[in-house]
Amino acid sequence: MKKAIVIGASSGIGRALALDLAKDGYSVGLVARRSDLLAELKEEIGAAAVVRVVDVRQAGENLGLIKDLAGELGGLDLVILNAGVGHINNDLDWEKEKAAIDVNVSGFTALAGAAYKYFEGHGHGHIVAISSVVALRGIGASPAYSASKAFISNYLQGLRQKGAKAKLDITITDIKPGFVDTDMAKGRLHSGWQARSLPHVRLCRRLSEKNLMRMY
């Protein structure tokens, strides 16, 4: 049985991916901040799920998370880094900018680095991160959010180069969705611009399974 960890599993793309993986026979580590939603997801998946309530913003406290959860799962094949925060911030309110940096930059970096080190030590693995199409161009209404997504994409490029140089069997996949119909995306654009979550997630799964580097 394959093993996966989904960071940011309580809602949206992360939740749908966790359910999809469980249906495909994976044991799944579910990681998020909202314990009530994680409990509901755990109940839906059943015994194949292991839950960790984690605040990704506490980056330094989460460095051992991947290793500990992999031990409980009995191994690890796939880590999906999906946790993210974004705000419309026309006034450049510092707290909103900081929230995006804390989760999408600091929190992501701690967990992506920990996942890479785990797979480096075990000789193989697959890291998938959900960045965004806004990584390609800054957005005036959400400058920290779009910049943080560009950071994610560039960090993944660095990990990919690092693994290739060391000739490691570690696949790094950067998925750049457009605007998906999830709670976080509501209000960003008119609904006609948004993709429904479940079909979009299935496309993400197909692309990551084919080991493609990025999806636009």
Q: Look at residue 178 in the predicted model and tell me its pLDDT.
A: 78
Non-local (6+) Cβ contacts of 11 within 8 A are: 32, 34, 37, 182, 183
Provide the 3-class DSSP secondary structure of residue 58.
Answer: coil
The domain 3-215: what is its CATH number?
3.40.50.720
The reported pLDDT for the residue numbered 170 is 98
Q: Which residues are catalytic?
A: 145
Structural contact between residues 149 and 104, judged by C-beta atoms closer than 8 angstroms: yes
Q: What is the pLDDT of residues 93-149, one digit of tens each?
A: 999 999 999 999 999 999 999 999 999 999 999 999 999 999 999 999 999 999 999
In our burial notation (b when 16+ CB lie closer than 10 A, e otherwise), range 186-205 reads eebeeeeebbebeebbeebb
- Tell me the whole-structure pTM to 2 decimals: 0.85
| pLDDT, tens digit (0-9, with 9 covering 90-100), for 151-164 | 999 999 999 999 99
